[in-house]
Structure 1
Amino acid sequence: MNEKVAIVQVKIPHYREELFIALCKRVPGIKIFHSSYLSNDGLVESLSFPFSNEHVNMTEVRGFTLQKLTKQILFDDYNYVVLGLELKILSNLLIAVLCRIRKIKLIFWTHGYNVHLKEKNIRFFVDRFVKTILMRMAFKILLYTEYGYKELIRWRIPARKIIILNNTINEKLYEFYITKFRTSEKIIGSDKEKLKLAMVGRLTKAKKIEILIDLVVLLRTSYPQVSALIIGDGPERERLEALAKVKGVEDRVVFYGTINEPESLVPLLMKADMMVQPGAVGLSIVTSFICGLPFITFQDAGHGPEIAYLKSDCNGYIGRSLEDIKEWIIHNYSNKERMEKLRQGCFKVIEDEVKFEYFIDRFVSAFQ
Structure 2
Amino acid sequence: MGTRYLLGGRVCWQPFSSLAQNSDLVILTHENKLLCNLWAQYRLAGPRVALWGHGANLQGSSTSWRERFKRRTALQADWWFGYTELSRALILGNGFPAGRITVVDNAIDTLTLRKQCEAVLPEQLSAWRRQLGSAGNRIGVFLGSLYGEKRIDFLLDAASKIRARVPDFELVIVGTGPESGKVEAFCATNAWARYLGPLIGEQKAQVLALAHVMLNPGLVGLGILDSFVCQVPLVTTDCGLHSPEIAYLENGRNGAMTRDVMAEYVDVVVSLLVDGEYRAQLVAGCAASASRYTIDNMAHRFADGIMECLARPVHRSVS
Indicate the residue corresponding to 1:252 in structure 2: 193
Indicate the residue corresponding to 2:25 in structure 1: 80
Q: How much does 1:344 deviate?
A: 0.2
Indicate the residue corresponding to 1:70 in structure 2: 16
Q: What SS is found at the alignment partner of 2:57? A: coil
Q: Which residues of 2 match residues 329-368 of structure 1 at below 5 A?
A: 329-351=269-291, 353-368=292-307
Cα 1:127–1:71, aligned 2, differ >3 Å: closer, same or farther? closer
Amino acid of the structure 1 residue aligned with 2:242: H
If asked which structure has higher relative contact order (CA below 8 Å, sep 6+), I would say 2
Q: Distance in 1 between matches of 2:187 and 2:19?
A: 49
Indicate the residue corresponding to 1:107 in structure 2: 50
Conserved? CA contact 2:213–2:273, under 8 Å? no
Q: How much does 1:305 deviate?
A: 0.8
Indicate which of 175, 186, 191 corresponds to 1:232: 175
Q: What SS is found at the alignment partner of 1:169? A: coil
Indicate the residue corresponding to 1:316 in structure 2: 255
Q: What SS is found at the alignment partner of 1:366? A: helix
TM-score in terms of structure 1 length = 0.71
Amino acid of the structure 2 residue aligned with 1:296: V
Q: Distance in 2 between matches of 1:172 and 1:192?
A: 32
Conserved? CA contact 2:28–2:37, under 8 Å? yes
Cα 1:60–1:208, aligned 2, differ >3 Å: closer, same or farther? farther
Indicate which of 41, 61, 78 corresponds to 2:7: 61
Q: Distance in 2 between matches of 1:141 and 1:322?
A: 38
Q: Distance in 2 between matches of 1:153 and 1:220?
A: 44
Indicate the residue corresponding to 2:41 in structure 1: 96
Q: What SS is found at the alignment partner of 1:108? A: strand
Q: Judge which range, 155-164 or 288-297, deviates more.
A: 155-164
Residues 240-275 of structure 1, C-alpha deviation per residue, up to 9 Å, x if partnerless? 323544xx2266131321x343x3321111111111
Conserved? CA contact 2:14–2:34, under 8 Å? no
Indicate the residue corresponding to 2:118 in structure 1: 179
Indicate the residue corresponding to 1:201 in structure 2: 144
Q: What SS is found at the alignment partner of 2:165? A: coil
Q: How much does 1:105 deviate?
A: 2.5
Q: How much does 1:350 deviate?
A: 2.2
Cα 1:334–1:225, aligned 2, differ >3 Å: closer, same or farther? closer
Indicate the residue corresponding to 2:163 in structure 1: 220
Q: How much does 1:59 deviate?
A: 1.6
Q: How much does 1:195 deviate?
A: 1.9
Amino acid of the structure 2 residue aligned with 1:266: A
- Unaligned stretches of 5+ residues in structure 1: 1-55
Query: Number of residues paired by the alignment?
Result: 296
Cα 1:95–1:231, aligned 2, differ >3 Å: closer, same or farther? farther
Conserved? CA contact 1:141–1:163, under 8 Å? yes
Matched, 1:165 2:104: yes
TM-score in terms of structure 2 length = 0.81
Q: How much does 1:159 deviate?
A: 1.8
Indicate the residue corresponding to 1:43 in structure 2: none
Cα 1:154–1:346, aligned 2, differ >3 Å: closer, same or farther? same
Indicate which of 181, 184, 191 corresponds to 1:241: 184
Q: Distance in 2 between matches of 1:272 and 1:331?
A: 15
Q: Which residues of 2 match residues 250-329 of structure 1 at below 5 A?
A: 252-257=193-198, 259-261=199-201, 263-320=202-259, 321-329=261-269
Q: How much does 1:182 deviate?
A: 7.4
Cα 1:119–1:356, aligned 2, differ >3 Å: closer, same or farther? closer
Amino acid of the structure 1 residue aligned with 2:119: K
- Unaligned stretches of 5+ residues in structure 2: 126-133, 308-319
Cα 1:193–1:85, aligned 2, differ >3 Å: closer, same or farther? same
Question: Comparing both structures, which one devotes a greater share of its residues to helix?
Answer: 2
Conserved? CA contact 2:26–2:50, under 8 Å? yes
Conserved? CA contact 1:225–1:252, under 8 Å? no
Cα 1:202–1:93, aligned 2, differ >3 Å: closer, same or farther? farther
Indicate the residue corresponding to 1:46 in structure 2: none
Amino acid of the structure 2 residue aligned with 1:345: G
Amino acid of the structure 1 residue aligned with 2:196: F
Q: How much does 1:284 deviate?
A: 0.3
